Amino acid sequence: MVIALVFLALARLYNLGTMDTRSDEVWVLQYLQAGHGTGDMAKFCLDEFKPGRQMPLSRMTNAILQDVLRWPVNLFTIRLPYAIMGMLTIIALYCLGKAIPGDRHLGWVLAWMGAINPYLFHWSKIAHNYSFVKCLFTFGLAGFAFVMRDVVQGLVPRKRVIGGFCAASILACYSHMSVWPAVGLLWLSLVGYLWIRHERRSSVWIPVGVGFGLLVMSLLPWMLMFISALFTAKETFLPPNADVMTQWKHLAILPQAMTWGGGWRTVITYGLLVAAIVDGVLNRQKRKRLLYLVTVTLLVFIVLFVMQYYAGGNFEAVRYYTPVWTSLILVSGVGVLAVGQWLARVPGLGRLGELGGSALASLLLGMAMVNPLIWTVTLPATSIPYTVINRWMDANLPAGAPVLVDRWLEPWNEMKTHAPSNVVVTFTIPNEPVEMFKKYQWRDTAKQFLTRYPDAAYLEIVKQYFFDPTVGWWDWPRQYFRQRVVFTNEQALALARINMMPNPIATFPGSNTNRIITELFYNTRDDMIAIARREGRSWVLFYASGWGYHKLWPQMQDFRDWRVLGDRAVVDIHNLSDQSTQVKLRIRGAAPVAGKSIRIGDGPGLAFPRGQVMEVESQVLELRPGANVFTISGGTGESARAPLLVETIFVQAAGL
């Protein structure tokens, strides 16, 4: 048993540094890679609490470890503390089981459940708050159970137990705000029980009062900032992103996502919960404990639902209810013991005894989790398989080709960390929220971009607002592009099908392909020539080797797209007629650093003064039928090193 637990705990290290990621985890990685340390992180956490309401413990842990150990900043090193917290959660569950009187084997059953639970496994491999929450809140609940065991027996709670309960409570609350109501209810329950019992001993009240006081004082500054945000940062309290009934339907999968899944595993998920409830109803000793646990869990869930409804907008996100996870695992563990007792009474299985029956039930549960665990361990990405996509684009798209991503945040966040090496990912203009998407007609800007650059591809990651009734599906890429490649995160899709993918966007119907199934649309050169012929055009220009790509928006809030010319680059103009023709090139661009002189073939120099957007016209060029390759050289010396930002290259008939 111990060997199996150790193996499953250490399995969290597999693939830890190679699994692609996104969102908050990318931010932590980029922030630490930029050289920010503990002081910077502390200041950031304080400054950003009002608008973001993120508690600091997990991020501060990353920063402190980075300052102390000076290890390389990469996905493995930033995730390692979270993997360790996931491992420690197994120990916390064992302690919780040991703290509850009457069930001798509950500790081992809960530890086993923690080791095989895919939800815990998933969050143990991601640099996000939730493995800290599960670990520290479970230790806190174990501390509460130990204290209550002493109090119920009329004993004075041991100081180290009260101290551990207090420390775990504070650390858990510093991990995530969702823990606040759960920890608060535990302490209020303890104080309320002592009050109802008319406890008069100062040896009991003093340590409890000190512990509760330390908890309140440690949270008071954050509570005051939160209350202040209600008045000074109202705009950060997002409205609900769907009606209440829709959100309740989404949250119906919460027990499945957090415990043992849907599909045929639904029988296990709800069967263990029902078994625990039936056992509690039939057993007078367990009845009050079960009633208390169910009541507190429901209260915590309702409070968190209300908090998310008014403060978060995305209140169906399963991860925001993480404190409920410990309760569900605990009830499932009681259910396993109940099933074990019933199995021991089955004719022919009586020799197993209660221990053997519980072991058999635990083994069967482990067998049911084999595939979900394999899928979780081998996930190539938390959602979007960037590495797989990038590898394909680098190998199959033209070098330097721009790839338009349908979510504007991706190119300078997730795909800055997970960046292709041979192509450039980009956006046109900001397209979030939906009001901005519609106001500035993002789809029109995308069409203009994709038709201006024949080598451009379109990467559809999130199907932006496809499911918004005011926007709808976008068929144009499916009509314009001749080629389509689908990248599927098979493991994530398998988990989503059984409601075990913790990311709700990847689970719920209507958006189940978002960030799991990604589509890439592109045209080959032959495709573009065929399209140009169909449109009746005389020629088509391709940006060939040597071209870069740049967008000045971070520096100037300028969303124009520029192809970048260094010392030389090539254009390929395909003459679609069967006769030679004479043309000129009109090049519109700017030299931002220093004046730039360019030459097309052996033609005269064309000058771009520094800091001016202007247009120059080339000498007459002859286009033979088919492909015509022209080299644009960027001069010599300082001019060759200075970049030229090219906005457009027009081909026009000579003499016009």
Q: Which is higher by pLDDT, 229 or 569?
A: 569
For domain 535-653, give the fold. Jelly Rolls (2.60.120)
pLDDT at position 510 = 42
Q: Which amino acid is at 464?
A: Q
CA dihedral sign, ordered 20, 24, 29, 33: positive
Structure tokens at 467: 């499911």
Q: Which of 86-90, 105-109, 225-229, 497-501 has the lowest mean pLDDT?
A: 225-229
* Cα–Cα distance for residue pair 459/38, rounded to 1 Å: 37
pLDDT at position 11 = 87
Q: Which is higher by pLDDT, 25 or 237?
A: 25
Distance of CA 229 to the CA centre of its chain: 25
Q: Kindly tell me if the per-residue pLDDT of 245 is higher than 70.
A: no
Summarize the confidence of residues 310-333 as an average pLDDT: 80
Q: Which residues of 385-394 are buried (b: 16+ CB within 10 A; e: fewer)?
A: bbebbbeebe
Structure tokens at 221: 């500054």
CB atoms closer than 10 angstroms to residue 615: 12
End-to-end CA distance of the chain: 84
Confidence bin at 509 (pLDDT 50/70/90) = very low
Q: Kindly tell me if the per-residue pLDDT of 90 is higher than 70.
A: yes
Q: Kindly tell me if the per-residue pLDDT of 477 is higher than 60.
A: yes
Contact assessment for residue 326 and residue 95, using Cβ atoms and an 8 Å cutoff: no
Q: Which of 285-294, 368-377, 398-407, 575-584 has the lowest mean pLDDT?
A: 285-294
CA dihedral sign, ordered 250, 254, 260, 264: negative
On average, the pLDDT of the chain sits at 88
Q: Which is higher by pLDDT, 356 or 609?
A: 609
DSSP character string of 64-85: HHHHHH----SHHHHHHHHHHH
pLDDT at position 315 = 53
Most confident of 54-63, 292-301, 355-364: 54-63
pLDDT, tens only, 582-629? 999 999 999 998 888 999 988 898 999 998 999 999 999 999 999 999
pLDDT at position 448 = 95
Task: For residue 621, list its beta bridge partners.
Answer: 583
Sorted by sequence, the CB contacts under 8 Å of residue 412 that are 6+ apart come out as 554
Q: Which residue from 112, 150, 54, 518 is spatially nearest to 340, judged by alpha carbons?
A: 112
Number of residues assigned to the chain: 656
pLDDT, tens only, 275-309? 999 888 887 777 788 888 888 888 888 888 777 76
DSSP character string of 178-212: THHHHHHHHHHHHHHHHHHTT---HHHHHHHHHHH
* Cα–Cα distance for residue pair 518/36, rounded to 1 Å: 34
Task: Give the 3-state secondary structure of residue 504.
Answer: helix
Backbone angles phi, psi at 458, to 5 degrees: -125, 120
Sorted by sequence, the CB contacts under 8 Å of residue 342 that are 6+ apart come out as 275, 357
Q: Which residue from 427, 390, 423, 383 is spatially nearest to 407, judged by alpha carbons?
A: 427
Most confident of 217-221, 410-414, 550-554: 217-221
Confidence bin at 506 (pLDDT 50/70/90) = very low
Q: Which is higher by pLDDT, 632 or 311?
A: 632
Task: For residue 614, list its beta bridge partners.
Answer: 589
pLDDT at position 298 = 87
* Cα–Cα distance for residue pair 240/247, rounded to 1 Å: 9
Q: Kindly tell me if the per-residue pLDDT of 543 is higher than 60.
A: yes
pLDDT at position 51 = 78
Sorted by sequence, the CB contacts under 8 Å of residue 321 that are 6+ apart come out as 178, 251, 254, 301, 304, 305
pLDDT at position 507 = 41
Which DSSP category does 655 fall into? T
pLDDT at position 238 = 61
Q: Kindly tell me if the per-residue pLDDT of 492 is higher than 60.
A: yes
Distance of CA 564 to the CA centre of its chain: 33
Starting at the edge strand that comes first in sequence, how are the strands of the sheet with 402-405 ordered? 424-426, 402-405, 457-460, 517-522, 483-488
The domain locations on the chain are: 2-377, 386-523, 535-653
Task: Give the 3-state secondary structure of residue 544.
Answer: coil
* Cα–Cα distance for residue pair 301/305, rounded to 1 Å: 6
Q: Which amino acid is at 529?
A: I
Beta-sheet strands, E only, within 271-390: none
Contact assessment for residue 177 and residue 137, using Cβ atoms and an 8 Å cutoff: no
Sorted by sequence, the CB contacts under 8 Å of residue 600 that are 6+ apart come out as 585, 606, 618, 619, 621, 630, 631, 632
* Cα–Cα distance for residue pair 509/505, rounded to 1 Å: 9
Contact assessment for residue 445 and residue 456, using Cβ atoms and an 8 Å cutoff: no
pLDDT at position 505 = 46
Sorted by sequence, the CB contacts under 8 Å of residue 141 that are 6+ apart come out as 96, 186, 326, 330
* 3-state DSSP helix/strand/coil % of the chain, to nearest 5: 55, 15, 30
pLDDT at position 504 = 46
Angle at 26 between CA 25 and CA 29, to 5 degrees: 90
Q: Which residue from 515, 510, 504, 513 is spatially nearest to 381, judged by alpha carbons?
A: 515
